[in-house]
Amino acid sequence: MSTTGIVKPPRGPKPFRVFLRVYGVLTLAIFVSLFVGFVAQSPLLAEHGGALNWTIWNDVRCGSEHMHVPPMLMVIYIVWGIFLLCAAGDPHGYTSFLNFTMWANLAHGALMVVQAATEIDHYWSKFLTDIPFVLILALGIYVWRRKEQVGQINSK
């Protein structure tokens, strides 16, 4: 209720807003933790023998040099998590961001399926972690978009 006593309508379906909040919080929890561990050079993320090394794609190289992919991806996902939380408050106001998120995660997930499948012995865990994480987000946004489109058609 506003200060004028008028009840404001919700700014999007509640289940979808909760979905975005959960994804935003999970994204921040995962990628802030990984970023801090990476910057602090945690032995858990060590390239050879680190128990959590499988969580990052840090073996991308150009010749013998690292390409420094993990921290760049982590920072992008941290920003993405913040924007997911913003979008949870007003999904309609963030439609363009959500459309981009849906397509980017679908493309990312499809590419990861191919990459992980080509090195299944090394990247089998991606089928239980990264791949479902990005594809479920894309699917959730797709379902919301479909419901919105159907709702708009029915209201005409």
Report if residue 120 sits inside a domain. Answer: yes
Residues 6+ apart with CB under 8 A from 72: none
Give residue 58's pLDDT.
58
Report field, pTM of the whole predicted structure over 0.85: no
Give residue 87's pLDDT.
96
Report if residue 9 sits inside a domain. Answer: no
What tokens were used for 71? 């921290």
3-state SS of 80-138 is HHHHHHHHHHCHHHHHHHHHHHHHHHHHHHHHHHHHHHHCHHHHHHHHCCHHHHHHHHH
User: What residue ranges of the chain have pLDDT lower than 50?
Assistant: 1
Q: Which domain holds residue 112?
A: 14-149
Report if residue 108 sits inside a domain. Answer: yes
Domain total for the chain? 1
d(CA 81, CA 103): 16
